[in-house]
Structure 1
């Protein structure tokens, strides 16, 4: 407001100078008037001197003075400019005084309670809003802008009779400024984030949104009246209250916010949506867009240059950014993590985020932070990784690798608490991190088995992280087939085997076991990698498409974990072309779970007898029982040899009518839409390398 007062004073002085000279055009020129009087006097003297002469001398008639139209217009505009600038300065001083009175009363008296003081301040601020004091600042700036417009228009008109060149120059520059001002004022209508708000923007918003709201209110009232008449005819009772327009006209009080609601709401009414669907439409109208909840691009560059030191030093801030604020498919986020990963000091400070994990949210944030650090890349970094066979990715990861075993133990403790609360979010984050490590194995060319070989560091670090996670009881992976490795080190020692198939399938099964314990509710398990892996990268549920076996023979019996899960979900293979799957809720969840189980069924022979393998429960399944605090037989891998998935197998639910389909035809066809090729054991020993996309 102080700047508005100063500018108004300077503008008033400038306009006054021009006005002092311009008002003279409203009066006759004294020199011209004197000349006219002298001419008339000479004419009269000559008439007297020649009175005897019969020749008549014409008398000079003086015309009354009429100021030119340009002078009237110029003086009017400049006078309005002067008055407007003075009024804006006066209004600014008054607003300052009103706000100053309020601020002087902000100190709480010693005898006044906090509650009473808070209520008094609340009423004072609501009074400011009710009387529009908060909008007077915009009005003050608008008056100053209007004064400038009056002055420039008057100046252009004033110069036109004098000379065309300065008049055209001033008019051109003024018109260009006016055009830019109008464009800047209109931009917030198209982009609410645009900072170019002017007093004209408020006027344009009121006109545009007011027109939209008024039109929508009229249409809505007509629809409401039509529905009311139909209700009268159906109930044979007339209620005038149904035609009361006050409820609809209340939208006109806030046209900007009402326009966001009325447009989708009116569309839903015209499409005959239910009341629940209309409530959802209204809720979505007030939801923050997804892209506004994330930080990317220039906003991330701004934050990284100003808060990077705090981010790498504060574990809570780093976890929160990774979990809620950043997304790998947003512009600039991969480059941000690549820069962090290539900075030795930053990585040493980030290791603090993996030392003390006391809540499930902290554990999830740390896991997501590590996942983003490992998966981030950009074109320049890809060239570096290719030359080093992925070793450069782990160049400065030593501080985090040293703390990871203890970190995995803490994550396991938090997973216990999360599973007891039937929350699978943290387990989904762990499974997603495992998938990032599994997929990274495919980027390593060949099998580097010596420390001097490029890629040895990357492979060894990936093995170390996966092993550390699997050594934690609550994080150990369930077996999919009967011949899966108990020790992951043995899996990595076999040069001829691509470990990604076994790791990917076991990772998927382990997450499905947790989700089963949590009741198959919707959550992060459906898309665990979304926003945490580079854009376009495959997710953990794509393991079968990337590493699935190809061949006509499946000789490995399923593990007891997989058998138990399929029995609980009533997944059966009575015939090669029929899949029976128990409904878990909405049809989309049926299809999701069915697809996941179909993927697992492609690498094992579900009809093979498990008698030879039965007898001991696998580590992953046993720990799921302990975490869920359920009886051990719920996910028991030590099932009797008679438990199989043949046609004559008895359902665990004795009261279920097997003649009725567990899912409808639509869900069944959707589950079978993705054909899986049969698998064979020969492919288990294929050459190791990047997956065929």
Structure 2
């Protein structure tokens, strides 16, 4: 259980209590074991039934073939009285068809016995695990079960049945040829019955392709699926791969070396594993369509990385104790249970999900639109009593809000960002009580000199800012902007969760940002919030004596191509210039406390002092934040009440970005925009 210990080392009460009580994951593993035992019993019964039937039929079929061959093999002898060329040719065809059918039937009988033995061995290993704890036993089972699926053990019975069906077709063909040269009448009768049966078999096999409820699935159905995939996926996928190779070569020539993610994606094995997905070509199409759609309204990302992200997700390869595929395997079986039991849900997210991946996106994207399931997540927010549980729920919300796929991106490009937030009222309403608990847990975390919850909270804010920057003032995005700012406003109510001020005029009233109706003003204010989030993270790390993994707060929970909390400036290059707002008293005092007091001198180059104990990540991040303010003497910092009135206005004015709107005076709590 090393992975659990590593992820919860800073929490002395969360998983530790569950471990000591034997109720790890709120009964999750007990439920999982019950489900997989039922699956194993069903698989064993199906395997026994189908393979016993194969053995019986193969035996009878082989005996029938042997009886026919006993009469026809003599015609192949050189001493045979039959010397006609046509008859000799037909004898070769007949015997060839029947001999191949006989060999196939015998092989089917052999494979049937092997499959029964493999199944018994597999189930025996599940019934007698070598691991000690229940969690380790279930993880051991998952590895074995996924290995069986990877090597096609559940598909083996269908393959044997398909081979046996092919042997029957060969036998019928031999019957028709055999009688054709003896008497055409019985040959025509055999041909009619055999041909009609094969036609009905072919039609029945195709019906499940048009109606998923049709039970007439046969091995030929899988052949149809393969042909369809060959035409719609494999061939177009090969063409896509060829085009990507050409595009990558062009980028290498014109823009320099490719990044490691693209190089890994170009690996033929990796590409083949992704392009075998029936929706891969569709994802590429939507990625290209998304690129041209975003060109009309904003600065689009480079096309090539966008296409690679659609195919592969640019996921970081990570060999963890429970990888994303295992989590998906587990979620498919215990997802409904976890959604009904907050402890189980928190355990899955906190102990098993080790970051973002396309598989996690696929797991969660459906929940974003499910008005029946989101209230269950809201209920779990109200069942947070430990640092582990709070961190897990923050990570869940982070993964949930940023989950997407090609269809989701196309939908939001068509109807706006607000469509993703229509069903989130229950979560945002529950966020108020959750924030109150976060504040209490943050105080306890400081006493324990831990930063796990602080890092998760900072990374969660970064995700919200990423989402906020893509909203527009239009009514299509109003729901998204409102819900995001409501969560920011709740966090700002408590000392343990609020953002610290970077400049003296930083707003406290987050809902005032709704009044910003120009994209450039929004970007300036969001950049200010990102700098405050960065400062808050570093200040919190100092309160905990710099313990924990605060310098890597996002830890794979953001997409690999997304700048993290401490690299906020990469998202907002315009904010890198020296600002004109006066630095807040908090920021000035903090710089003095960490040994960077010389930065307060006018014209300082923000150099790193020799022999500093600060981590390089903290110095670089603080330098980026310091670049956004002016360290002229601070006469008097406005009160919080004043901030509630001025809110976002000075944030847009102080940066003085060319072409940005200027916020006029606030009258009766409203904001208006004008241009010089």
Larger RCO (CA within 8 A; separation ≥ 6)? 2
Give the shorter-chain TM-score range. Answer: 0.3 to 0.5
TM-score (norm 2): 0.48
TM-score (norm 1): 0.47
